[in-house]
Structure 1
């Protein structure tokens, strides 16, 4: 159990840890033009700073949860913040693009600790609707980051240049480090920890990856998120080249998206226990589908009218975050004895796809607004297919489990049922 004061502070602290990721992605985007000139590089060479970050983030996300399952939650977060702060300071002092590459890898290695451990902490402390409400509250607070990051980055770029954004990341992570040391409780008691060894870890990964519903839920969210994130990765090209906006105008992309994420998260927490799980997920996909149709229409009829893109960004992210807590927790409930490792694999799936999205898919689709809208719509269609498979397989497992209960009698107690929808 935790104290009431810690319980009140916990959502803010977990949201702050989760904010490191989006801050690291978009706070320096308004500085792309100056960085291109300073380092004498192309758009693709600068885009590598994003791809390297995502690749490192994805790789290390496989380890954060597993290590925390063995050593506890606090040590992993503390070490991650120390590395991140040092890497950010190094990027601020860089004189060559290769130095930025190295620092971005180190940022990627460390930035995921907070969000991975945060999910596991929620599941350590809470169950059912209480966990869903807390996770929705964290997402609602975390949703501020995509809007705040580029606004702060644009202001810093105008007044202090590109180095200031990385300096801000160093200070922000140092502040979080102090708060974590002072207030984050250890939520995994020694009795529930797993032995850390290569063999045991391999067995754990094999068990989790063999769980088809878990894998499908993770893929569903990664593809669903890509329908919005392709615009984040293409933001400098989309906003400054196609729409003719300035470094301080990134709010036109991230503002409505943030509003949609905050409203969706609020509704997800408020109605966590009022509607069936399937109804909530289908509603979220329907909302995203309407947003995608609007986006395709606007990008075809008025590709340069930036104001008409605002409804899509708001509507799509509203539907996405409305069902994000449900999909995430359904995935973790598939592996109740390996939630730390499961959280790692969820984040790995999303971030590995983001790395591919950044390096290959976004540059392929960012040439025109219509191509971007098409890429986003394709991601949503694939996500819908993943959801249909995950749901069908989960319902099948529920049916098989219920039949096994009938065969054993009414005293049987369900424990750790993989893929079970409640």
Structure 2
């Protein structure tokens, strides 16, 4: 054994590319990837203050307008399943740039949508384009980091991502001061053009040729089959998806709850929605500190317990009217803070098990997250777009995530599989 080999063996697992990055390089990476991922929350959230206006403009039902949000989530889910394996085969940059261009085109066409049906189809295309940014960013982090380092970087990434839902409704409200809801999609198209430029010049390829996976449809099917046979991975993916569903229930119903039930105007709604996103950001940054002392699975369990209790409190306050709007807002803030703790750790634990297929694993993770969100978010509208319906779906999502974690994942026996 050479001295170098002996040193590597003594010092633990080989360093990942991310371990060799300087602090400044890591910061630059987080800012670039965070900006790219921000296109997702902006696409989902920026038009929320305009949902009542879109309903009136097209003379349609609230549930039909909420389906445009469902269409975006469905596009995100489907797009990730397609883009993940593609990025494992050809690298990260080509799928990212193609997706961003599709998003720009779809956003521009939303500006001239003549009816709610066309707008819904274009929102699906927006979701497909946005999926590339979500998958590639997750895969890039997994290309460079693993395990606890992944969870820490992803928590930092959520700080940047968190600015998008904080700013999105406020930006949407600001746009609505000067124009109608179609102006929101002009802003999204412009932001997409900026991101294409950023991706071209600031994000190098992170998947070397020798690590790329090819094999066509059969090869892709084999990879998905391998992932689905990993009970722990599947359980963690479901946990992440159910926790995300609780968040999307809030996103889907909040504009109607706060503007129509509690009488807030568009600007006030933007402030309230942003305050909730601050809780999400705060939880994700607290997670970085907690990871210095506790294992990711322990934090995940605690976060889901707190989130479930806060979900029940939200439902109780909404149903009884006790405490009014402040009680609803405080319980929502606790749920979102718990989500900020849970959301970095479930993906980190899941993706650490399959570093050899990071793009495909990230795609399945993202598809389940947005797919469950697309299924459950419309339930808020079906239940009447009130605070009770929103509270019921949020509480159910958190409790279901906690149940799956204990029955399927079994966190007390959880340990990441060897990474490659």
TM score, norm. by length of structure 2: 0.89
Residue in structure 2 matching 1:296, options 315, 320, 328: 315
Residue in structure 2 matching 1:161, options 180, 189, 210: 180
Structure 1 pair 303/153, CA: closer, same or farther in 2 (3 Å)? farther
Query: 1:256 touches 1:310 (CA, 8 Å); kept in 2?
Result: no
What is residue 381 of structure 1 aligned with on the other side?
Answer: 399
How many Å separate the matches in 2 of 1:258 and 1:377? 18
Q: Over residues 295-354 of structure 1, what are the superposed CA-to-partner deviations in whole Å (9 max), with x where a residue is unaligned?
A: 133213326932222212221111111132221111112223211101000011011111
Q: In structure 2, the residue corresponding to 1:94 is in which secondary structure?
A: coil
Q: In structure 2, the residue corresponding to 1:195 is in which secondary structure?
A: coil
State the superposition RMSD in angstroms.
2.2
Residue in structure 1 matching 2:112, options 60, 81, 93: 93
How many Å separate the matches in 1 of 2:83 and 2:381? 30
**1:337 aligned to 2:356?**
yes
* Residue pairs, 1:45-56, within 5 angstroms: 45-56=64-75
* Residue pairs, 1:220-299, within 5 angstroms: 220-299=239-318
How many Å separate the matches in 1 of 2:411 and 2:231? 8
1:134 positional shift = 0.9
Structure 2, unaligned runs of 5 or more? 1-16
Q: Over residues 340-379 of structure 1, what are the superposed CA-to-partner deviations in whole Å (9 max), with x where a residue is unaligned?
A: 10100001101111111233x2223344322322222122
Q: In structure 1, the residue corresponding to 2:356 is in which secondary structure?
A: coil
What is residue 183 of structure 1 aligned with on the other side?
Answer: 202
How many Å separate the matches in 2 of 1:357 and 1:41? 21
Structure 1 pair 311/304, CA: closer, same or farther in 2 (3 Å)? closer
* Residue pairs, 1:11-410, within 5 angstroms: 11-302=30-321, 305-359=324-378, 361-392=379-410, 395=413
How many Å separate the matches in 1 of 2:227 and 2:146? 20
62-71 or 122-131: bigger deviation = 122-131
1:45 positional shift = 2.0
1:415 positional shift = 4.2
How many Å separate the matches in 1 of 2:316 and 2:333? 16
1:39 positional shift = 2.0
384-393 or 341-350: bigger deviation = 384-393
How many Å separate the matches in 2 of 1:101 and 1:289? 32
1:188 positional shift = 0.3
1:227 positional shift = 2.3
Aligned positions, number: 401
Query: 2:37 touches 2:134 (CA, 8 Å); kept in 1?
Result: yes
TM score, norm. by length of structure 1: 0.89
